Amino acid sequence: MINGKIIKVCGMCEAENIRDVEALEGIDMLGFIFYPKSPRYIYELPAYLPIHAKRVGVFVNADKPTVSMYADRFGLDYVQLHGTESPEYCRSLQERGLKIIKAFSIALPKDLTKVYEYEKACDFFLFDTKCEQYGGSGNQFDWNILHTYKGHVPFILSGGIHSCSAHSLKGFSHPLLAGYDLNSRFEVKPGKKDTDRIRTFLNELKS
């Protein structure tokens, strides 16, 4: 954690890169995307999986047998859902012993209204920028919208966080802000992260 906030790096694919990112001070979660249309889609088990960081599997409207298969194969600690999954779907996965992160796309305050239906079915929410495709756009939404969120589930902030975002992140606070999600803006190519860029960002976040 950095300043009491979870640091999650998503879209990991390559064993050596997974090992290097996990070794950075402050990394809490590493995400693996099991959505075939994503350029960061991973199917084969890499030669190295995180030992210290929690493993998060990202899915979009997958059936429960598929989620369970990847959860077993990759030893997932969390399942992150980016589709139109219902609260009942989330609860059914919780009953199988999985922790749930439900992603919501945000552009306007009204986009937060549906999150309250999921309060008893999720361990974290993830608030991302609304876009046409599933999984995020790499762009930032107006974080001030989140001041209208009055729920009880802690959330992870996503969407367009980049190497120069540290100052803005330190200036944004919310009692339920649990952490930050890093992905496309920290990459050499889809699925391969720039460890130096992440390290610099984390150091700026700490300073």
Letter for the amino acid at 127?
A: F
Which residue among 10, 13, 90, 122 is the active-site one?
10
The region, left, alpha or beta by phi > 0 then psi within -120 to 50, assigned to residue 181 is beta
28 noted as active-site residue: no
Nearest partner of 2 among 164, 162, 166, 148, judged by Cα:
166
Q: How far is CA 76 from the centre of its chain?
A: 13
Which residue among 90, 128, 194, 196 is the active-site one?
128
Query: How many CB atoms neighbour CB 90 within 10 A?
Result: 22
196 noted as active-site residue: no
Residue 116 to residues 94, 155, 163: CA-CA distances in angstroms?
A: 17, 12, 32
Catalytic residues: 10, 128
